[in-house]
Structure 1
Amino acid sequence: MFLISSCDTSSISGEFKENQPPRTFLSVDRIDLPDEQRLASRVDITWWGDDPDGYVVAYEICVGENEAPDDQCHPESEEWEYTESTDTTITLPLTPGQDTDDVLFSVRAIDNEGLRDPEGANVRFPIRNSPPEIFFDPTLTPPDTTYSIMSFGWEASDPDGDEDLNYIEMTMNLDEDDPDANDWIRLDRDINFITLQINPNDIDENGNATADLYLGRGMSPADDVVNNIRLEGDNTLHVRAFDQSEAQSRTAEHEWYIKEQTSNILFINDDNTAGAPGNVAFHTAFLDQLGITYDYWDISEALIPSGNVLPTPFDPTLPLVLAQWDHIYYISNSLERNLLYALEFTSDFLAEGGSMFINIPSRGISSQNEDAVFNFLPFSGFQELPAGESRFILFPNTEIESQNASIPDLTLASGSQNTLPLVPEGDANLFYNAEFTLRGEHEISRLIAASNNDQNILFFGIDMRDITEDSPLDQTMEYFLLDHLGFETN
C-alpha cells in the first residue's frame, strides 16, 4: 500500500519582506575632551557592521566634511571612499590655518545586495595640530671649512604623519632681527639633500657671493639661486618645515667657514705623522721657488669614509670639490690612507684634464688594499724579493738614477729598510730607479718614480726629505710640475 500526500501552496498568504539595510558601529562614537587634551591628528579608527537579513560585504568612509548637517556626511557626498577593511590609521585634515579642529568621520556598511546603511556611524574627533620637525643629518653636512662646493642632508617629519608635511624652506645667513627679510627658497617636502656651488662670476668686492642650487643626489639643477654667501667668513644654512595647516617647525642651522678659491692648484696634506709640518714646509718651498700659487687643504685628521674635514657625503660631493682645481699636489705618509679612494674621488678631476703629483713612501700594504692602490698608480705592484732574500735595503748615499734625459741623478741621504721597489705598468713613463741592496750584498736597480701613459698622474715613492741637499732636486721638480704635469706659475 502506498501513502500519497501533497501540499496546496495556494493556501500560503503574506507579504514579501524587502531587504533590510545593514547597521554600522564605531568602536568610539563620542569623544569629549578639554582643549588642552585634544588628540593628535593621526588617529586609529575601527568599526564593524551587521545585517539583519544578509551579510556585510564592504564599507564606505567619509572624512572631513566638517560643515555636514546632523553630524554625518551627506549621503550623496563625493567624499565617500570604498573599503573592505574594518580599521584605518589616518591623518585627519585640519581646516587650513587652524591649530585645532573638530573633524567628522563617518562610516557606513554595504550589504550583499548593495544596500547602504542610511545613517551610518559618525564621530567628531577633537584634534590639535602638531608642528613638523626638521634637523640636519650630521653625516650629511659639510666639515668646519669648505671651498666652493658643499652638500647638506636633513630629515623632516611630522608627528601627525609625514603626509601632513607640506614644504621645506631654506635660506643663508638669516637676519635674526627680521627672519622674513631673507630670501627663503621653497622646496618640495620630498627634498632632503641639496648641493651648493658658488658661482665664481658673481662675487662682489666685499666677498659676497651667490651659489647655484642642486637638488637630490642626482644633482638636479633648481631654478633658484642662493644669495647672501660670505667668502672667507662664517656662514649658516637655515632650514624649516611647514605642514598642511602652515604650522612651522623650529629652524635648524648648520654653521661652517667658506674659503675662497685663489688658485687652480690644490695642495693636499694627508700626512698624519708628527713630522707633517716639516714635510709640508719642504714641499711648499718647491712650489714657492717655482712661483706656483696654490690653495691648501689639510685632510690628515680624516680617513674616508669618516672624519670631520672631508665633505660628506663623499659621493657626489668630493669628486665635484676636487674638480674645481686643474692640478693637485698630494703628500702622505702611507699608501693606505686616503689615497685608497683616489680612483673614486678624482674621477671628475681627471676627466676634465686634471693632473696630479703624489709623494708617498712606497712601503708595504695589506693585500686587501692592493687593487685600490695599483689600479690608480702607474704600477702593477711591488717587486718580489729574489729567492733566499728577506728584504730590500736602501743605504745612505744610494744613487737614485734618472731614467729620463730631462732630469738629473739624485742621491739618497738617509737609508731605509722599509721602502719597496715598484713594478711599472707596461705603458708607464719611467723616471727614477734606486740601487737597492739585498742581504747577499749585491745591488739591484728597481723603479721608485714613474707616471702613467696619460701623463696626468706622477708618483715618487721615496720621502723626498731623505734626498741629499746638494742633489739638484729643484731641477727635477721643475720638470715634473711644469713640463710634465703642466702646473702654471704666477
Structure 2
Amino acid sequence: MRIQYLLILVILLGACSDTPNDPIGNQPPETYLSLEPDGELRTTTSRQHIHWWGDDPDGFVAGFFISFDNATWSFTTKNDSVFALTLSGSDTTYAFFVRAVDDQGNGRYDSDGPNGPEPFTDENGNGVYDAGEAYIDLGAVDPTPADLNYPIQNSPPVVMFTQGSDVPDTTFTVATFSWIGTDLDGDETIQEYQYALNDTTDPASWRSLSRGTTFLTLFESDGLREGENVFYLRAVDIAGTNSRIIRMPDTSGTWYVKKPKTDLLIIDDYGPFDVSAQFYRTVTDTLFGGRFQGADVFDIKTGASTTSRGIYLPPYINPTFIETLKLFRYVIWYGDNNPTFTVAQLALPEFQASGGHILFTAAFPESAIDPRGGITDFAPVDSLSPNAITFVPKETLAEPDAESPGYPVLKRDDQGIPVAFVRNLFRKINARNFYRFQESTRWEGQPVVAVRSGDSRFILFGIPLHRFDADGTVGPLIHQIFRNEFGVQ
C-alpha cells in the first residue's frame, strides 16, 4: 500500500513540473468607435466630437494613437476629442483612424520605438527624457485600427452688427461700424470680411478686411461721400463661401453724410428753449468778415436723459466723435447747467493734442467737482468751489481779470430762466484768470468765472455767455478771443 502511495505522488509531482510547450504571448488590444453605422454617415458640420475606447484581453490599455491619414499618428490617453476639420472646399470627407496600445512594454524608456518616442513627463522642462522621469511604457498596438469616414459640408458664416452700434441719421465725414462674425464650422474658419459703400453690384467695390477686424472707422478718404450713404458687410470663410450681406442702416434707408462748411464747429449742449442757438450762430456768422459763416452745429443734447446720451451722438465717442472734432480747428461748446462732461472728458484732451482750440461756456452742477474726475480732466482748472452761486441777479457784471486785460465788461441780461450753478474757478498753475464777477453781497469777494490755459488753446467760462450780453459785448469778446488767443486773422 505504501509503495502505491509513493508511486502516485511521484506521478503527480512529475505532472506539476511540466511546462507548456507553446505559451501564449502578449495579445494586442482591440479598438472601437462609438459610431458603427451600417452605411455612410450623413453630411454634417466640420466640428466633430468623436468618442472611442479600447479593450485588452490580457492587460490594460495605456492609450490610443489617432490619425486622419492612417500614416501620421498622435498619441493620447483620452477617449474622446473635438476636432475642427479644415475645409478645403464646399464639401470634404475625412477618414478618422484610432488604434489602442496596451501597457506591456519592455520595461525601459524607448526614444525610437516602433511608434516613435514614448510619452513622458518632462519634469525639468529640457525637452528630452531623463532617467527617473515618469513615462508610459507602450506595448502591443491594435493592428486593425477602428476607422470611420465623416462627410463634411461647409456652413456659411454669419455676420451681424453689434447691438447699439447703429450709425446716427446724420454724420460728418466720419463713421464707425462694429460687428460680430460666427461660423458653425468654427469662428476660425472665417477668412476675411468684406465691405462696400453704396454699391454692391461692382465686384471691385468690395474691400477686404482681416478676420481679426470687427471694428472699422471710415473717413472721406475711404469713400464716404456727402449725401446719402449705405454701408454693406459680409463675411467669407476659408472655403470661399459668403455670408448673407448686411447693411447699415438696416432697412432700405440711408444715413446722411455732410462735409464741414468751415473750420469752426459749434457744439450745442444746451437744453432750455431760449435764444442760445440763434445767438451763437449770429455771432459766428459775422466773425472776421464772415469767415465762419454757416458754421456747422452739432446737437449733442436732444434726447439726452440721466441714463442716455443725446440721440445725435455716435455710439462710439472714441474714435468717432473725437475724429469728428479733428475735422475742425476751432470748437465753441456751449452748455446749460448740466453739460455732457462724460463726452467732453473723452474727446477734448485729444482734440487739444491735435492742435484744436476750444471756447467752453456752461454752468456747473455737483458732478463737475466729482473728485473721480470731471471738468478738471480737460479744462485749465485745478478745482471748483464746492458751493455754487444759486442765483445771479440781472445786470451783474463780469469783468476781465488783471491777468487778462483789454477785454470788454459783460453784463447779465434780464431774459430767460435764472442763471445759477456758478462756481468760483481755481486755475491750474500754468493757466491765467480771465474774468471775475463784481463784488456782491450774494457771494464772497470777486469769484473767478473764466480762465484761459497757458497756451491759449482752451478758454473756459463758468457762465452761459449768451446770458451776459445785455450790452452787446459778447460778440466783440469772442472776436478778441479768436484773434488774441486762437491766432485767427
Q: Is the 8 Å Cα contact of residues 393 and 437 (structure 1) preserved in structure 2?
A: no
State the partner residue of 2:52: 47
3-state DSSP of counterpart to 1:374? helix
Q: Alignment RMSD, CA only?
A: 3.1
Q: Deviation per CA, 1:58-77, whole angstroms, max 9, x where unpaired?
A: 212223xxxxxxxxx53xx2
State the partner residue of 1:120: 145
3-state DSSP of counterpart to 2:373? helix
Q: Is the 8 Å Cα contact of residues 357 and 481 (structure 1) preserved in structure 2?
A: no
- The correspondence for 1:399, drawn from 393, 397, 400, is 397
Separation of aligned partners in 1, 2:202 and 2:39? 39
Residues 1:166 and 2:169 are matched in the alignment? no
Q: Is the 8 Å Cα contact of residues 93 and 103 (structure 1) preserved in structure 2?
A: no
State the partner residue of 2:422: 419
Q: Is the 8 Å Cα contact of residues 300 and 309 (structure 2) preserved in structure 1?
A: no
| Percent of paired sites with the same residue | 26
Q: Is the 8 Å Cα contact of residues 330 and 356 (structure 2) preserved in structure 1?
A: yes
State the partner residue of 2:231: 237
Which one-letter code corresponds to 1:438 in the other structure? Answer: T
Q: Deviation per CA, 1:152-173, whole angstroms, max 9, x where unpaired?
A: 2111111122233232222222
**CA spacing shift, 1:102–1:234, aligned 2, 3 Å:** same
Separation of aligned partners in 1, 2:85 and 2:411? 80
Q: Is the 8 Å Cα contact of residues 370 and 381 (structure 1) preserved in structure 2?
A: no
Q: Deviation per CA, 1:241-265, whole angstroms, max 9, x where unpaired?
A: 2223322210111133221123222
Q: Is the 8 Å Cα contact of residues 362 and 420 (structure 1) preserved in structure 2?
A: yes
State the partner residue of 1:25: 32
Residues 1:339 and 2:341 are matched in the alignment? yes
**CA spacing shift, 1:300–1:292, aligned 2, 3 Å:** farther
**CA spacing shift, 1:85–1:445, aligned 2, 3 Å:** same
Of 229-238 and 11-20, more deviation after overlay is shown by 11-20
Q: Is the 8 Å Cα contact of residues 339 and 364 (structure 2) preserved in structure 1?
A: no
**CA spacing shift, 1:468–1:160, aligned 2, 3 Å:** closer
Of 450-459 and 373-382, more deviation after overlay is shown by 373-382
Name the one with the larger strand percent.
Answer: 1
Trace 1:289-300 onto structure 2 (pairs within 5 A).
289-290=286-287, 291-293=290-292, 294-300=295-301
Residues 1:374 and 2:376 are matched in the alignment? yes
Residues 1:280 and 2:277 are matched in the alignment? yes
Q: Deviation per CA, 1:201-246, whole angstroms, max 9, x where unpaired?
A: xxxxxxxxxx2xxxxxxxxxxxxxxxxx352212222221222332
State the partner residue of 1:184: 206
Aligned residues between the structures: 428
Q: Is the 8 Å Cα contact of residues 392 and 438 (structure 1) preserved in structure 2?
A: no
**CA spacing shift, 1:402–1:254, aligned 2, 3 Å:** same
TM-score (normalizing by structure 1): 0.78
Q: Is the 8 Å Cα contact of residues 23 and 108 (structure 1) preserved in structure 2?
A: yes
Trace 1:97-108 onto structure 2 (pairs within 5 A).
97-98=90-91, 101-108=92-99
Separation of aligned partners in 1, 2:85 and 2:318? 39
Separation of aligned partners in 2, 1:310 and 1:346? 15
Of 258-267 and 463-472, more deviation after overlay is shown by 463-472
**CA spacing shift, 1:48–1:449, aligned 2, 3 Å:** same
Q: Is the 8 Å Cα contact of residues 349 and 378 (structure 2) preserved in structure 1?
A: no
State the partner residue of 2:75: 82
TM-score (normalizing by structure 2): 0.78
3-state DSSP of counterpart to 1:107? strand
State the partner residue of 1:328: 331
3-state DSSP of counterpart to 1:371? coil
Separation of aligned partners in 2, 1:149 and 1:474? 31
Structure 2: runs of 5+ lacking an equivalent: 1-9, 106-137, 250-254
Of 449-458 and 367-376, more deviation after overlay is shown by 367-376
Which one-letter code corresponds to 2:203 in the other structure? Answer: A
**CA spacing shift, 1:127–1:143, aligned 2, 3 Å:** same
Q: Is the 8 Å Cα contact of residues 58 and 82 (structure 1) preserved in structure 2?
A: yes
Separation of aligned partners in 1, 2:76 and 2:435? 78
